[in-house]
Structure 1
Amino acid sequence: MFSYKSYSSQVDIVINVNSLDTNHETRDKHLIGSMWLDAKSYPEIKFISSSIRKEDINKYRIEGSLTIKNITKKK
């Protein structure tokens, strides 16, 4: 059960790039390699929320910062 309290809600997600699994081993190796995600140099992808808004019953909008390869994009 999900309980939403806007004044105290925050989402922090850390993804281990080496855990990537697209159900295709060759593609996975290519994606985590130096040409794309470069898991050796940048082992994590991070998302940190800046706002969570309830839009409807059981529907929420989460905005925040996504960091991939030390480049952060904010929404």
Structure 2
Amino acid sequence: MEAHTMIQRMPDAAPRALWVQVEHGLHVASTVSAFVGTVTETANGFEAVDGLGTCRGVFASLDDAKAVLEAAASADAVL
């Protein structure tokens, strides 16, 4: 009898977003395959808008706003 080994492929990690500050208060991000979104500094905080134009919220820090967009992009990449 011949033994067979089953090899499972791990899902690819979502591509890392590259963030660029295009002007004061405006940051944009993309991956190799998709536009991630923008973060704009406003009087109320940092507004995160995803690559489809949907506002994901206003956050107290730039890092928090970026993290929300990256998480949304990662979730979309898995689907």
TM-score normalised by the chain length of structure 1: 0.28
Q: Which has the higher strand share?
A: 1
If asked which structure has higher relative contact order (CA below 8 Å, sep 6+), I would say: 1
TM-score normalised by the chain length of structure 2: 0.27
